[in-house]
Amino acid sequence: MSTNQPNILLVYTGGTIGMIKHPETGALKSFDFKNLLKNIPELKLLDCNIDAVSFEEPIDSSNMNVTYWVQIAEIIEDNYDAFDGFVVLHGSDTMSYSASALSFMFENLAKPIIFTGSQLPIGDLRTDAKENLITSIQMASLQKRGVPVIREVGLYFEYKLYRGNRTTKINAEHFEAFESMNYPHLAESGVHLKVSYEDLFKPNVRRKLVVHKQFETDILLVKLFPGISESVLTPLFNLTHIKGIVLETYGAGNTSTASWFITLLKETIKRGVPIVNITQCAGGSVNMGQYETSTQLKSIGVISGNDITTEAALAKMMFMLGEKVSLKTFKTIFETPLRGEMS
């Protein structure tokens, strides 16, 4: 590989972006990424060296789980020194979850890991796959004085690069499938690539890269709704193997003040199960104590998720529980931004 051009590794996990339509049957099948240049000859024009590695069996992103996250992380870890940037091709349905998880897995990351995918297969006439892939590679290749410009886990889709752990998939049909409601996008692709340098994550590059691979999945995500019943919730909260709960509450972090509900939360926390409060709203933040309906939550030790997304809250909880963070420090660490995932 040449040394003066950035070396970029594509990691194909599955998803629409890697599919081609059989010309006669119209059925979608994943193509061999070794033949990438044949399908996208434009890649030859890019000012970088591209290599590709694929999951042995590409998966639909609906089947994404911790084992696959570790697989992606290990591919990047094993190739970390040989490449200047990484582009992960991934189905869009769970991409925000994976981008959030990878951000916590890589501590002191000094190179770009950019997730991308597409709404239409690469072989489709109107595909968004080519633009997403080409620009993701360009974003991963950006360097200033030989140092990568982006040093975090990003997600690129439809002309915008976002911080991965700030994104949510908001549309199943539009090319603009993702949004980052509580944080500005990091870069935009127009006639020129415009980077918002002040919004980029500034890692501690003097420290050695650490890859965390222990994630705890025995957690619960509960979305509150008017009329939620005690008889359904109590057995769930009392499951003996539950290690943590993410609670999607109303507005700025408000819940029912029914005594059975508050008591249930209180007893669960007493049992050593952390409960994180995040908002159901697409944008905005939890502010416990702003209204009377959330004052009690604060006093019983519910953790504030601030303006974190559901995807990042789940990934952060899995990560922290996997790291065996003690209950004494759990609240403090969760409420502290670790990878730019909350304000």
Residue 15 zone, left/alpha/beta (φ > 0; ψ -120 to 50; rest): left
Give the DSSP H or E segment for 230: helix 230-237
193-195 and 28-30 as β-strands: parallel, antiparallel, unpaired? Answer: unpaired
For the chain, how far is it from start to end, CA to CA, in angstroms?
40
**Residue 300 · residue 308 · CB < 8 Å:** no
Q: How does 142-154 read in b/e, with b if 16+ C-beta sit within 10 Å?
A: bbeeeebbbbbbb
Tally Cβ neighbours within 10 Å of residue 206. 7
Please calculate the CA angle 89-95-101 and round it to the nearest 5 degrees: 105
Rounded to the nearest 10 degrees, the angle between the axes of helix 95-105 and helix 310-322 is: 40
Bridge partner list, 51: 9
Helix (H, G, I), strand (E, B) or coil at 22: coil
Quote the strand ranges of 83-183, DSSP E: 85-89, 106-107, 113-116, 143-144, 147-148, 153-157, 160-163, 168-169, 178-179
**Residue 288 · residue 247 · CB < 8 Å:** no
| 16: annotated active-site residue | yes
**Residue 154 · residue 161 · CB < 8 Å:** yes
Tell me the C-alpha distance between 203 and 111, whole Å: 10
Active-site residue among 3, 13, 16, 295?
A: 16
Cα distances from 324 to residues 101, 192, 317, in angstroms, run 16, 45, 11
Catalytic residues: 16
